[in-house]
Amino acid sequence: MKSSIATISWCYKEAMAAAEIDANLASSIRELAQQAKAASRVLSAASSEQKNRVLERVAKALRSDDAVARVLEANAKDVNAAREARVSAALIDRLELSRTRLAAIADALVHVAGLPDPVGVVEETRVLDNGLRTGRMRVPLGVIAMVYESRPNVTVDAAALCLKSGNACILRGGKEAFHSNRALADVFVAALEAEGLPRASVTLIPTTDRDATLALVRLDGLVDLVIPRGGEALIRFVTEHARVPVIQHYKGVCHVYVDGEADLEMATRIIVNAKTQRPGVCNALETLLVDRACAATFLPAIAKTLTDKKVELRGDARARELCPELRAATDADWDTEYLELILSVAVVDGLDAALAHIARHGSYHTEAIITRNEGKAQRFVREVDASMVLVNASTRFNDGGELGLGAEIGISTTKLHAYGPMGLKELTTRKWVGYGTGQVRS
């Protein structure tokens, strides 16, 4: 009964939400999407050189006094408003731009311009028995909607990756960064026009009304994909309301399993790196699983090492038998992405128990095993369902830059279309092509 009631209640809310969308707003969002769709046809046939010239032009502008002044002036408005609203220092840091940060964004643009263009590449070529030459050609997806929160650099990064992969993009940034996003999008659009590409290749939704997002993610047939980037609440909101495909990335509850046959010195090095090198990111370690075969020696040692590095450990009953000083983990801990210096720790009965724990609490993000036993390593790699599975290495390697994608628009924890870091290739699809000399089917 519970699920039906939940569905009804959600649906009445939905109907209310739909009722509240202003008709003018909905129709102007549709119009923007239609223009983006038309632009996407032009972009799909644009040459790599033309797309790269746009990126280089934006990079140049973001280093010029004129554009820098305009962007920083707009950014100051956002930052002042955020200060007046007494938001956290961390959020203001994410929001604030400077000449140095703009130069870093410009560097990223030049880097994307230098990456190989996936569009038009033909893979898996074959000649059929009848002489038909077939293959699969990489083509853009079409129109990609990005819904994101406070960082204004996403405006430029996302526009650059979409443009290079031949897609039009519709950007819906957070309200905290509204003026900054508009100033950055203006720089991008000026470069598109200067290089003869349509303005609608990059469209910033001119309002931060939440209903604009609702209207946007319902445009089945006009928008080909929506990528929400931000907190779990934003992602759930988009997923619930979308009528177009969504690629999600909810959270990273990443595990390291230290097997009884592990090199314990290596295990220590990897755990310290995965937990403490940058605790606020999605591929950081959140739960440590220790095989009971090595727990008595390893657990007290790693607990001391981590405590010395200011990590708070929360253990299950068996971990606390070995380390009574640990705080007790609650049920919720096993599903929590801390994003700070906290680590939950459990003792497990070998590989099968570790696999069962990960199947129950994993978030399809990144999982690692430390072992010298190749058979166990292979079973772990084969049986764990996650966008990246590592043997004897830190979870921090699940990253587009580290894995050689050149750049990433996000990490997908959904299995359809892309699983893991998404670079330029993951923003394309493949159509079949066939070159014949009059072949017909018999």
- Touching a second copy, residues 106-135 (CB under 8 A): 120, 126, 128, 132, 134
Residue 402 contacts a second copy per CB under 8 A:
yes
In the complex, least distance from residue 206 CB atom to a second copy, rounded to whole angstroms? 19
The residue among 357 and 379 lying less far from a second copy, judged by its C-beta, is 379
Residue 3 contacts a second copy per CB under 8 A:
yes
Contact positions with a second copy (CB under 8 A) in 156-215: 215
Q: Which tokens is 299 given?
A: 């657990």
In the complex, least distance from residue 353 CB atom to a second copy, rounded to whole angstroms? 14
Of 52, 75, 155, 387, which one interacts with a second copy (CB under 8 A)? 387
Q: By CB under 8 A, which span of 75-83, 107-115, 294-302, 432-440 interacts with a second copy?
A: 432-440
Q: How far is CA 236 from the centre of its chain?
A: 14
DSSP conformation letters of 134-196: EEEEEEE-SEEEEEE-S-THHHHHHHHHHHHTT-EEEEE--GGGHHHHHHHHHHHHHHHHHTT
| Separation of alpha carbons 350 and 293, rounded Å | 8
Residue 86 contacts a second copy per CB under 8 A:
no
Of 412, 413, 388, which Cα lies nearest the Cα of 402? 388
- Taking the alpha carbons at both ends of the chain, their separation in whole angstroms is 55
The residue among 6 and 296 lying less far from a second copy, judged by its C-beta, is 6
Q: By CB under 8 A, which span of 89-97, 188-196, 318-326, 395-403 interacts with a second copy?
A: 395-403
Of 118, 410, 420, 423, which one interacts with a second copy (CB under 8 A)? 420
Residue 350 contacts a second copy per CB under 8 A:
no
Contact positions with a second copy (CB under 8 A) in 207-236: 215, 218, 224-225
Residue 309 contacts a second copy per CB under 8 A:
no
Q: Which tokens is 357 given?
A: 């724990």
Residue 92 contacts a second copy per CB under 8 A:
no
Which x/- pattern, by CB under 8 A, does the window 139-158 give for a second copy? x-xx----------------
Residue 251 contacts a second copy per CB under 8 A:
no
Q: By CB under 8 A, which span of 37-45, 76-84, 187-195, 198-206 interacts with a second copy?
A: 37-45
Distances (CA, A) of 83 to 54, 78, 151, 301: 35, 9, 16, 44
Residue 88 contacts a second copy per CB under 8 A:
no
Residue 423 contacts a second copy per CB under 8 A:
no
| Separation of alpha carbons 57 and 64, rounded Å | 11
Residue 426 contacts a second copy per CB under 8 A:
no
Residue 301 contacts a second copy per CB under 8 A:
no
Of 53, 70, 111, 269, which one interacts with a second copy (CB under 8 A)? 269
Q: By CB under 8 A, which span of 69-77, 180-188, 327-335, 393-401 interacts with a second copy?
A: 393-401
Of 247, 234, 177, 243, which Cα lies nearest the Cα of 215? 243
| Separation of alpha carbons 211 and 177, rounded Å | 18
Our CA dihedral for 201, 418, 388, 405, rounded to 10 degrees, sits at: -40
Residue 30 contacts a second copy per CB under 8 A:
yes
Of 80, 98, 125, 277, which one interacts with a second copy (CB under 8 A)? 277
Q: Which tokens is 401 given?
A: 């830059």
The residue among 49 and 325 lying less far from a second copy, judged by its C-beta, is 49
Of 17, 221, 247, 7, which Cα lies nearest the Cα of 147? 247
DSSP 246: B
In the complex, least distance from residue 106 CB atom to a second copy, rounded to whole angstroms? 25
DSSP 116: P
| DSSP H or E stretch at residue 30 | helix 23-44
Q: Which tokens is 8 given?
A: 């009804």
